[in-house]
Chains A and B, each alone.
Chain A
Amino acid sequence: MFKEIKNRFATDEIEVKRPDLAKINVTRFKIFELISFLTEQYDYKTLNAITCTDWIEEEHFALTYMLTTVDRKHTFMIQTMILRDNAHMESLTHAFKQAEIMERDLHEMYGIDFPGNDNLVELSLENWIHTPPLRREFDTLEFVNSHLTFREGRDDNVDVKVEMKRLRALKKAEKEAKAKEMKAKAAKSDKKEKIVKKENEDGK
């Protein structure tokens, strides 16, 4: 089966990641053909997920479709590359009903358009006008620091590491002073004992 797929569709070797997972790379024009081939001929009837990875250095998105057999024994990951500017891909809702919500998620988080899917409203970001947040050009920390304000710190705010070092040094100094004192006391009492002993001997 793998040989047939490779010869007809794949662009390079089929990579077997686990006994139940294999990955195929195809071009975007052949992907629907491959999906219908797998669904009809080989019983891969469940669409598990449609996910996306952002390759910002090579300027493309890698879309992955995951198809599973009916008895859940084997899964194919089918991966295509689409360009980052003006990203779009034909919708899969005519074949799988669950693709509608998966494409909604990708549209909201990456900004990929799916013509053919007529319900591309957002799931959890209402009235979002900035860049789609899961793209790698969106810097979360910079966005937070520029749009939202934090609570100001207390005026006796200290850096934890510095403070711990200082406290440890203090404790150590105390301990040493105490040990010295004990030693001095012991030496004194020792000396006293020696004098008393000498006196007894002299007395005798």
Chain B
Amino acid sequence: MEEGFLKEQQIMENDLNSDTSHKSSVDFLMNWFRKRSIFVLAYGTGCGAIEMPPTFTSRYDAERLGIRGAATPRQADVIIVSGYCSYKTLRRIIRTYEQMANPKYVLALGSCTVNGGMYWDSYNTIKKLEDYMPVDMYVNGCMPRPESILEGFIELQKEIAEGKASSWQKYEENYEFYRKNQEAVLGKTVAPAYDADWYLYDGGL
């Protein structure tokens, strides 16, 4: 693999993951269980969400790898950022990501998360997702087909088993860096208000 598509994937993955795990046998066992059952939050962020239903249903069955959908961020392990993130979406994604329980992983689909993709000259989307959220695995394409997404999940399982997928630790350790970037783009109030008043009193949905 000296040139082309696969080499680019390798180069990108090399600066993503840091080996910050402890290598004891209990950790090995726990990682083995974690890679066998992955709950993916059912949240379609951008136009890449069109490729998620085929991956999780009958034809390209993702359930044989132990992957199933979860309804709330409290029950989910993986959040899939599928496509471009406008400022409005980025606020909600950050709020959702912070609600998930550790250990949690981020899978970034598409070329818009890598370098802006098709919307590289748009005033309302962000160009490099890594400045705002830690990413575990990129899946290239616009949009990646279900076979590519499944390969992305298998690579993520390998990384979990080796203990290298530690993006939640990166987020906690470098929180000031991420927060500074988020505030530069989104203003001081990074996330919308966290109460149920909009549902109960302001007239509902």
Any A CB within 8 A of the CB of B116: yes
Q: Which residues of A contact B170 (CB under 8 A)?
A: none
Determine if B121 and A150 form an interchain contact, defined as CB atoms under 8 angstroms apart: no
Q: Are A150 and B88 within 8 A (Cβ)?
A: no
A200 contacts the other chain (CB 8 A) = no
How long is the Cα–Cα vector from A65 to B94 in the complex, in angstroms? 40
In whole angstroms, what is the CA distance A141 to B120 when docked?
9
**Total number of residue pairs linking A and B with CB closer than 8 Å:** 47
Task: Tell me which of A124, A141, A150 contacts B116 (CB under 8 A).
Answer: A150
Cα distance, A133 to B123, chains bound together (Å): 8
If over half of A's interface residues share one DSSP class (helix, strand or loop), that class is named, otherwise mixed; here it is loop
B88 touches A140 (CB 8 A): no
CB distance from A17 to the nearest CB of B (A): 32
Within the assembled complex, what's the spacing in Å between the Cα atoms of A129 and B123? Answer: 13
Cβ of B121 and Cβ of A148 under 8 Å apart?
no
Find out whether the CB atom of A148 lies under 8 angstroms from the CB atom of B115: no
Question: 1/0 per residue A169-202: CB within 8 Å of B?
Answer: 0000000000000000000000000000000000
**Which one of B24-32, B58-66, B70-78, B181-189 is at the interface?**
B181-189
- A140 contact set on B, CB distance < 8 A: 121-123
CA distance A144 to B91 in the complex (A): 19
Is B86 within 8 A of A124, CB to CB? yes
Q: Is A151 an interface residue, CB under 8 A from the partner? A: yes
The reply to whether the CB of B126 lies closer than 8 angstroms to some CB of chain A is: yes
A12 within 8 A of B: no
Residue of B nearest to A139 (CB): B123
A residues adjacent to B (C-beta < 8 A)? 124-127, 129, 133, 138, 140-141, 143-144, 147-151, 154
| 9 closest Cβ pairs, A-B complex | A151-B115, A151-B128, A127-B187, A143-B123, A148-B127, A126-B88, A150-B127, A140-B123, A133-B123
